[in-house]
Amino acid sequence: MEELLEIRDLRKGYRGKCRKGGEDRAVLSGLSLRLFRGEILGIRGRNGAGKSTLLQIIAAVRKPDSGELLYRGAEKRGISYLPQELSLYEELTVSENLHFYGAALSLRAEQIRPRCRWLLERLGLSGREKNLVSELSGGMKRRVHLASALMGTPELLLLDEPTVGSDDESAERILALIRHFRERGSAVILTSHRSGELDELCDRVMTLESGRLLEA
């Protein structure tokens, strides 16, 4: 299998405010990982274990204190990061949101339109293009949120709780699209509190505990 990403001895801590008495708190403590093309890696862990921090560091949203990230098969521009918090413009339509994210990736209009149609069809949102995001249910917003992260053709998908708050239909459509990208060769790192979801979807599941990834 082709290696896409290697992480060596990653460390990250936060100062003072996270603990009583102002002590520093280590979130990642010498974490190492190898990820391969076409692999879905699931990460579980308690709240505050550092799952979101890890994804943010891989996505270059946050800097580590030390350690190495080696993007062997995927340049940083080939990485798509989906945070847990919805990052949609409620006052814009579904189509306008996706066009915005497509343009941010320097896609041309003739590339954006068919990409939007394909993603919305796969996510069961055909006919919703002109709906304001504010008019959608929570599950539909989650699907549009995922579509916004898939406007490009990412080699590596970083998904932080992509189905949180979703109804069963929305969750299944989201998971089906993740499988599709795995089949076309993308690698996926996924966090979720739904243990059954991770066991069903992922090729590997690891637990983030005491700042390190452990085989589940």
pTM of the predicted model as reported, rounded to 2 decimal places: 0.91
Please, are residues 50 and 28 in contact by the beta-carbon 8 Å criterion?
A: yes
d(CA 53, CA 189): 13
Rounded to a whole number of angstroms, the distance between the first and last alpha carbons of the chain is 21
Q: What is the pLDDT of residues 90-122, one digit of tens each?
A: 999 999 999 999 999 999 999 999 999 999 999
Nearest to 202 by CA among 182, 172, 177: 182
Domain ranges, residue 148: 3-215
Q: What is the pLDDT of residues 165-174, one digit of tens each?
A: 899 999 999 9
Please, are residues 93 and 133 in contact by the beta-carbon 8 Å criterion?
A: yes
Count structural domains, the chain: 1
Residue entry with tokens 């003072």: 16
d(CA 206, CA 168): 24
Q: CATH number of the domain at 30, please.
A: 3.40.50.300
Q: What is the pLDDT of residue 74?
A: 54
